[in-house]
Structure formats: C-alpha cells, structure tokens
Structure 1
Amino acid sequence: MFDADLEEAIKVYQRNFGLNITGAMDAPTMMAPRCGVADVINGTSSMGAGAASHAHGRNLYSYFPGGPRWPRSKRSLRYAIAQTAATPIDRATLSRVFARAFARWAAATTLNFTEAASAEDADITIGFHAGDHGDGEAFDGPLGTLAHAFSPAGGRFHLDAAESWVATGDVSRASSAVAVDLESVAVHEIGHLLGLGHSSEPGAIMFPTITSRTRKVDLASDDVVGIQSLYGGNPNFKGVAPLATSSRDMDSGAGARSRPWSALVAVVAVAAGLAVAL
C-alpha cells in the first residue's frame, strides 16, 4: 500500500537515476541488478546532482560522507583474494580478473596495486560470500545486490557467491540469463574501495546498476575526474575510450534480467533513509 512517505522515497530514487519523477512504480523505475553500497545515507542522497545536471553535462560522481581516501603516504596498495571456497572460479582466473580491474584505476591515477599472498599482508581483502556473512549487509541470492565494498580505509570487498559469475569469455553469450560479468562488478567496487560513491551518469562505471549479460569495464570521464580529484592524475594516462554501450542498452539490453519487485522495494527503503545499505 502506498503512502506519502513511500511516494517521496520513490521520487528520490527516480531523481537519483534521472528518471521521470512520477512517484509511482512505473516500468523505468524497475531497475537492474545493482551494487549494495547505499545511494542514500541517513536520509541524504549522495546522488543529488540528478537529471538536471546530467542534461548540462556536469560531473555527477560522488564521494562517501566525509570524503575518506587512502592517505597521501600510501600510493601502493596490496590486495588479497582471501575467501574463494564459495565460488567455482579457479584462483588463477580470479587473479587475472582482479589484476585487470585494479589496473584500470591505476592507469588514471597515482596509485598502484599488487596482489598479496595473504590477507595479513594486504590493505584490501576480496571474498565471495553467501547470505549473512557477518558484516551486517547480507546478500540476497541471484541478481538483486551483486556485491558491496567499504570506503577507505576499510578495504573489504565482498561478492555474492550465489551469482552466476562469468570470469572468462563473452558474457553476452553466456548460457545463463542471469550471468554477471565479474570484471565489470570488480571495477565498480574498486571505485568504492578508493573513495568514490555512486554517479548519476548512466555511462559511468560508478553508476549503481548493471544488467545481466553485460560487460562494462572502461572508466568514463565522470569516473576519471572523480578519482583524480582524490589522488591526482597519472601523467601517462591516455584518456577514456568512447562509450561502446548506450545508457539505453545498459538499462534494457536484450536478454537482460530486471530486478525482482522485492529487490526494488529494498532500494526504495534505502531511498527513504530506512537503511544504510541494500
């Protein structure tokens, strides 16, 4: 049953994503599987730039409250792939996927990343988990929330082990209709590990949703400006590649699965300030 608070929550959600602000659960509001990092914290939207700024081409990246980042004295970060028992993907393949994902951020910044042999030697830990895994942000099974990561210097990056992760080959040709590209999600969550919040720019890596069977790994200008504002730019960075996929394709690509109603309600609850994360 709808009331004024729920209608306002839906409007906040629609504003964040540049949708037509109707306050109703219309078709465009039924979004794709997404990151578990909240867009609204304590009732305040971190994606407040909205569609009006998008129309004028302004930067739409955001930061976590307080603007946390890794200290200036720490430009070399070590990561460990620590919890892998819950995924069938072999360790060598995981190492290659995460190395590529970290390299995309290193190319644009003054940061560099190295895989560590153990979690004890790492600044960042990566793991696959199912359901309630002890951090207060339980996973929900296939689609819905795909992964979440903690702001600096929390260094924790968790992926839902229940997803149909694709780590090799063309995800758009995957046999599963709910296949999710691992590298695409990894690039996004690393942005959070470095201090970026979500962006209202649909073409940005830091946009909070992605459809199944979609690959999206190249930083957009919005991502680059946001991360370089935190850490400075790599003088050898060659700029961003042209977008290969339109925002329309990302929102409603062929063969993609939309989030279920229950997951959408969870997002609306976050927009109302009822929870810190999905």
Structure 2
Amino acid sequence: MRLPLTSRRSHHRSVCVLLSALLCSGLACAQASYRIATEGTYRPWSFKDAQGALQGWDVDIANALCERMKARCEILAQDWDGIIPGLMARKYDMIVASMAITEQRRQRVDFSDKYKDTISRFVAQKGTRQDVSPSALKGKTIGVQRGSIQANYLSQNYKNSDLKFYDTPQAAELDLVAGRVEYILGNMVTYYVGFMKTAESANFAFVGPDLKGGLLGDGNGIAVRKGDVELLSKINAALAAIRADGTYDRITAKYFPFKLM
C-alpha cells in the first residue's frame, strides 16, 4: 500500500534523522577545537604586530595544521618560562613555539615528529676569538633567554662563566650592544633574520661553531600533554600533509631565504 504524500515526506525525514544520528553518534561530527600556545616575543617565529595580533612562522604553521585537521583553533601568547606548566595545567592543548626536543622535556610532554632543525650560535663583537669552549669563556659574561635550551646548555657546561638570564632574546641583545654582556647564545636563524639585520649589530658577528644535539635538542617539535595519543596522531598527519603539498615550504619562504629542514 502506498503511503500518502505527507506520510512519505515524514517517513523520509525520519530516515534522514536516523542516518544522521548513526553517522554523527557521540561527538564524531562536532568540529574539534584546540587552544594553542606560542611565545609571542620571538620574532620571526612568533610576535605581535602593531594591532596586537599574533604573527610569525610558528603562527602560520599552527593555522595550517588546524586547517588540515579541520579544527577551530585559538592561538595565544604565553611567557616562555611558563609555557610547559601552562600545557600541563590544561590552559591549552598544544605548544607550537619552535620548542627543541630534549630528553629533559620528554619527561614532561610528548612531542610530534620534528618540524624543523635547530642550530645555536654565540654572537660577540667582531674580532673576538673563535674559541668559545667553556675554558675559553671562563669569567666572561654571557646573555641568554631564561628557560631556553641554550640556558640549560650554558648552566651545565659554562659554570665558570658569568651567566645573565633574560625574559626575551631581545633583552639579551640590548645588553650585548650596551656592553653589559660579552656574548649571547641563541638560535642562529633567529639571530640571522633578526638581530644581525639591524644597524645595532654592525660591530657584532657569529663566533664559534654551529652547536646542536645533546642538551641543545634534536630539532623542534610540537608539544602535547603526556599520553594525548589521539591529538599527537592528528598533528603528525597534518604535518606530513603540509610538507607533502608544499604549504610548509611556502610558509618558510615567507620568512627565510633558506630551508629549515
């Protein structure tokens, strides 16, 4: 027996509702939403523009990952020395802030696949000797960002130097120019596209060799809370996707005249 037209329409709507319920059971169809921490004072990786909006390589990478994960994301600035505690306190879900992958940090967070390499360098006045070994820098003043891998490296290896710790890399650079420290140690790429491009750097140069590995990390990764396997899997898949389709290289070319990995 054929159903009346109105009954057929009602039956059709009921079937659609049932199918939708089956396909979107639980939260499967809800768009994922994540809060992402970056630093915000680490040009060109992350910084605030004149309007106070976050910009930079890490910010662009974070947005590209969210697009691939089809997720709504809020990116917020967090002081570096509190960035891991904030993750552990669930203030945000991941850290996209050029964080070096170290064994010490692995004890507190889980890392994604590496998404760029890290090389550290000393900067000092031009003409400074190239030997930057701990014995050569005994008694020398060295500036470094507090909470960074470089700070940990210096604390462990340069116990006979006078170490000065700063909240931002820029603060250390200012004291180098002012003569309050003799050396600074930090990310080579950051110095290359930042401080070394300024007029204030005219009398300064890189000294010593490239430094990497060990306490200085095995490249950079995106940090999530320990055991967050599902999110980590999504991040790694999204990282692979933006590298495969050229998005990663396009973002990198926007900020640097060389590859990061």
TM-score by shorter chain over 0.5? no
More helix by share: 2
TM-score, normalization: structure 1? 0.22
TM-score, length basis structure 2: 0.23
Q: Larger strand proportion, structure 1 or 2? A: 2
Look at both structures and tell me which one has the larger radius of gyration over its CA atoms: 2
